[in-house]
A and B are shown apart, each in its own frame.
Chain A
Amino acid sequence: MTDTMTDILLLTIGSFGILIALTFLGEVLRAREDPGFNNPVLDTYMTRVQSWWGMVAFVGFALLMGRIGVMVLFAFASFAALREFLTLTTKAQADHLSLALGFFAVLPLQYVFVGLGWDGLYSIFIPVYAFLLLPIVSALRGNPDRFLMRVAETQWALMIAVFCVSHVPALMNLDISGYGDRSLLLVAFLVMVVQFGDLLEYFFGRRVGRTQIAPGLSPKTWEGVLCGVGSAMLVGALLNWITPFGVFGAMAMAGTASLVGMFGSLVVASIKRDRGVKDWSHLIPGQGGFVDQLDSVIFAAPIFYHLTKYFYT
């Protein structure tokens, strides 16, 4: 077994350890309640913990499968996210072909390019080629009604659900000197610091949150975000042994990713609020859809990718 595999196993087992503790905590709290009484907060918490079990199992398994496993997992995540996004966007029958191309051509091709490691192409494929070509396909059908809205929203969906998500597995392509094949671990690092940051932001926001960042949009508070980013930096420092960043570098990268992610989920909340939905879908019990769960990772991924590329390769 290689060092990378050992480290992934360690991380997975560590995450399972945390989940066992969280599940135990929930069961203790539940045992202390009156049998007839249902506490909605506790129920939500327990459903979420159960979903996390599933997620840790999936991500852990994908990482152990190596490159192919991670590629397949995130390609499916992209597909689920794109479906959630495009269900809510403005569209007309004239867009049918360009939407079908988005699902069945752009998405798979982007992952093929990431898989082949053609970073020159996967960095521009959606922002340049899809951006210019898909509106042409829509225009050929000759329906100008709300045209700009339709093509802009479709492009947004592809950028968020395909381009950004694909930058998580793209981390495996980064050639960092002295780091070897361990770039797989960057995927684990990014997902863990961002998700832990979110979790603790939620926790601290409920405890000490006072000043709302965007009232009427999201319950997020400056205090919560500060504590969340601080916690993400701490987790980053603890995990620095799997990164090429060093302790302080790992803290800075974790803090940046977490901060971008948190503001990213504000953007996603605005879209949801505009479309009058609470969740993107009901795919993950207790969490809503893929986009609800991954919003901060989605926003953090391209920035984390490019910062790593700029400073460490």
Chain B
Amino acid sequence: MSANPSDHRHNCPAPFPGGGAFCFSIVPPFAKVGSMKFLRQFAARIVGQSIRIFARAITAVRADWKGIEPVPRQRVYFANHTSNADMPMIWSVLPPSMRRTVRPVAAADYWLKNKIRAFVGPEVFNCVLVDRRPEVKDKPMDKIIAALDEGSSLIIFPEGNRNMTDDPLLPFKAGLYNMGVARPEVDLVPTWVANLTEIMPKGEIIPLPLICTVTFGEPIHVRDDESKDDFLKRASDALLAQRPEVRT
């Protein structure tokens, strides 16, 4: 999918550590430490491509660019969360140039549970890992703002947890509002991931190869004098509006 390898070299230096997919120029392949890093980056790239191909084969996942163009621009994609596959789906439909600068915000306790996850989360998806325990000093919002200031785009799930209910969305947590206030110039893009609950409902073993659609809506921003609750309500409505027509 990605263009010729020279493209990657133009992207160095990456906007954040490890962000350039494949930086030959800054990784000396024969240095001892460097070669390890090179191998890990290489492995991360292979795993990333495999996840993309797998997602495409199983769900024929596709993007519907309803409200934005697929251009590299700093954005926060906020999405509904029903399954662990949501984030890989959004990640898979982004074109390579956007995928290299996007960082999913994810729970540290999930992605650091074992060695495989600790490789996939931080190195393949380049996640911003946040620790949600209140006693931790390292506040999630600080890490998120730091990632935005490095120029990264983000994928976040403002419901906070996976939605296991029959309601389409859970009430949003304040994080999205705080980001919008702290960095008002960043586009907040409502991103609806459709059909994943039908592809793999809770408790089933075999995934159905139905088509998964990721719809990107028009970006929103926090308005002057808008209260937190008003904004979160508006953000939630904007996300629901991207939902393809459902038959009842």
Contacts and interface: CB of A to CB of B under 8 A. Distances in A.
A282 B62 contact: yes
Judged by DSSP, the binding face of B is loop
Contact of A83 (B201, B210, B245): B210
A93 B62 contact: no
Contacts of B60: 80, 83, 281, 283
Nearest to A82: B209
* Contact-size category for A: 20 to 34
Interface string A273-293: 001100001110000000000
Contacts, number: 35
Which of B204, B209, B245 has the most CB atoms of chain A within a 10 A radius of its CB? Answer: B209
* Contact-size category for B: 10 to 19
Given A90-B247, A91-B198, A275-B247, A99 B62 contact: no
B245 A276 contact: yes
Which of B195, B201, B206, B208 has the most CB atoms of chain A within a 10 A radius of its CB? Answer: B208
B211 interface: yes
Interface in B173-211: 195, 198, 201, 204, 206, 208-211
A96 interface: yes
A93 B211 contact: no
A96 B204 contact: yes
Interface string B191-233: 0000100100100101011110000000000000000000000
Interface string A95-110: 0110110011000000
A86 interface: yes
A100 B206 contact: yes
Lowest 8 CB-CB distances: which A-B pairs, in order?
A: A87-B211, A100-B206, A93-B201, A87-B210, A276-B245, A96-B204, A83-B209, A99-B208
Which of A90, A96, A100 has the most CB atoms of chain B within a 10 A radius of its CB? Answer: A96
Interface string B19-38: 00000000000000000000
A160 to B, nearest CB: 16
A103 B209 contact: yes
A80 B198 CA distance: 17
A187 B111 CA distance: 52
Contacts of B210: 83, 86-87
A111 to B, nearest CB: 16
Contacts of B195: 87
Nearest to B210: A87
Nearest to B208: A99
B244 to A, nearest CB: 9
A31 to B, nearest CB: 27
17 contacts: A79-B209, A80-B60, A83-B60, A84-B211, A87-B195, A87-B211, A93-B204, A96-B204, A96-B208, A100-B208, A103-B208, A104-B206, A275-B247, A281-B60, A281-B62, A282-B62, A283-B60
Nearest to B64: A282
Interface string A224-250: 000000000000000000000000000
Contacts of A91: 198
B153 to A, nearest CB: 24
A86 B62 contact: no
Interface in B6-23: none
A283 B211 CA distance: 10
Contacts of B206: 96-97, 100, 104
Contacts of B204: 93, 96
Given A93-B204, A104-B206, A282-B62, 7 more contacts: A83-B60, A83-B210, A84-B211, A86-B208, A91-B198, A96-B204, A283-B60
